Amino acid sequence: MKLFDVYPLFPIEIVRGKGCHVYDSEGTEYLDLYGGHAVISVGHSHPVYVKAISEQVAKLGFYSNSVINGLQREFASRLGKVCGYDDYSLFLVNSGAEANENALKLASFYNGRNKVLAFKKSFHGRTSAAVRVTDIPKYVAPVNEGLEVHFVELNDIEAVKSALETKEYSSVIIEGIQGIGGIQVPDDEFMRSLRAVCTETDTVLILDEIQSGYGRSGKFFAHQYAGIKADLITVAKGICNGYPMSGMLISPMFTPVYGQLGTTFGGNHLGCAGAIAVLDIIEKENLIENAAKVGAYLLEELKKIDGIKEVRGRGLMIGLEFEQPIKEIRTKLLFEQKVFTGVAGTNTIRLLPPLCLSMADAEEFITRFKRCL
């Protein structure tokens, strides 16, 4: 049997990592400015994380959600305090798309409505409802087309008001910062107005913080720059530093009903142990503050470089848009300068490094990046 061919692959096998560096099977070292697609939050092979995972799997890796799991409760309590949503509840699942699926479902259960408002250039996953609210038509199969979705431009509050005043929409789903869309940052005033109109129309506000959350923006959640609270918040990627895990933070306005939501693997013992360790490291090593500081340096220095059309982002979530396709630049970065980066569309390079990126590594990236240009 062979693997089903769904990704174009670079001819490199990464076999180990440490901090913000990874190493291939030939022993070559690479500076990781991508974090495995924003997944590595506290750095590769962090000893505290490794210890927590190792000790837990030696005791119990998994058991059913039909019994009490003290690690789930500990993690929920810790997460609420760290992120400022202590009065919310937590439902744990396995992937970002699954978290968004459940958020869309819970919103519809809440108000009985069956339409969703989403934004152009959005990405929320590839499963049934999540892909339908993603603004990439080629990802949407005929079987996904049942959900009625209306897309509007990001930051167009009048378009939002016009749609929501009909009171037909169960929810609005928006990324804290659009990732696949090219690191598009919602205006703070737009976010405040969006919160207000959702409240006025009893429309559930879902904040997809799967890529922009967990400290990446320089705050725990990117929407906190606007000083608002969402009704449902989805998290994944950096939550467990590489172990598959995600979750949904749920406002007290929702009442749980047995059978509406469920999961087999979500919130398993091994994942919770790793996720608690991630919070420990984020707090003790001040990684959110580090993301804000190092990210501000990168944004400032990158804006000085000729040849880049626009630099966008917050913290360690940065997009570099060029007039021309960036395939050649990204390839030169990887194979000549040994730097991993991501992409958004054809013209934008995405930087999503671990939150422990040092100022020295940031400076080294700027040096290597200038060589490519």
pLDDT score at 145: 87
Mapping DSSP onto H, E and C, the string for the chain reads CCCCCCCCCCCCCEEEEEECEEEECCCCEEEECCHHHHCCCCCECCHHHHHHHHHHHHHCCCCCCCCCCHHHHHHHHHHHHHHCCCCCEEEEECCHHHHHHHHHHHHHHHHCCCEEEEECCCCCCCCHHHHHCCCCHHHCCHHHCCCEEEEECCCCHHHHHHHHCCCCEEEEEEECCECCCCCECCCHHHHHHHHHHHHHCCCEEEEECCCCCCCCCCCCCHHHHHCCCCCEEEECHHHCCCCCCEEEEECCCCCCCCCCCCCCCCCCHHHHHHHHHHHHHHHHCCHHHHHHHHHHHHHHHHCCCCCCCEEEEECCEEEEECCCCCHHHHHHHHHCCCEECEEECCCEEEECCCCCCCHHHHHHHHHHHHHHC
CA-wise closest residue to 318 among 219, 190, 209, 184: 184
Q: Which residues of the chain have pLDDT under 70?
A: none
Question: pLDDT tens across 262-284, in order?
Answer: 999 999 999 999 999 999 999 99
Q: pLDDT value at position 93? A: 98
Give the pLDDT score at 353. 98
CA–chain centroid gap for 120, Å, is 17
- Tell me what pLDDT residue 143 has: 86
